[in-house]
Structure 1
Amino acid sequence: MSAQQPNNPLHGITLEKVVSDLQAHYGWDGLYNRIRVNCFHSDPSVKSSLKFLRKTQWARDKVEKLYVETFY
């Protein structure tokens, strides 16, 4: 069985890159306006966002969906 995931545009892309790219594209306010989570609003940082998103699957799913919609 191959490790390739041709139908997964996020394959090989780290969550840190996803958050960093979205933040660079939209800014923290823009991210918060699209996905209402406090890690994008109250004292936002990539590190705090990663910590939250790694524990909160529904929010991570929304962030990954926004990344795919934005860049693919």
Structure 2
Amino acid sequence: MSDAQPGNPLHGVTLEAMLTRLVEHYGWDSLGEHIAIRCFTHEPSIPSSLKFLRRTPWAREKVESLYLYMLRTQARNTK
């Protein structure tokens, strides 16, 4: 059973992939300024951030929102 979601940019993107792209794009310091959570500002790492984000729905929503914003910004800049 395959539920295609062609209009959903988050479909098929793992939290780890989102976080990795955000860190590559913004860096940990800027990411911590955009989303002020401790796992981004104090000894940040992908594994510790993933552990926190998987347990904290409000923080995951913020990461998803920033990821979508980054995608929109990149799409606008390529036009």
TM-score, with length taken from structure 1: 0.93
Query: Could you tell me the percent identity over the aligned residues?
Result: 56
Q: Deviations over 1:16-53 (max 9, x none)?
A: 01000000110101000000100001110000110000
In structure 2, distance between residues paired with 1:5 and 1:53: 23
Deviation at 1:13, TM superposition (A): 0.6
Higher Rg = 2
Tell me how large the CA RMSD over aligned residues is.
1.2
Q: Mark the runs of 5 or more structure 2 residues left unpaired by the alignment.
A: 73-79
Q: Which has the higher helix share?
A: 2
Q: Mark the runs of 5 or more structure 1 residues left unpaired by the alignment.
A: none
Name 1:14's counterpart in structure 2.
14
Alignment: residue pair count: 72
Q: Which residue type is aligned with residue 59 of structure 1?
A: A
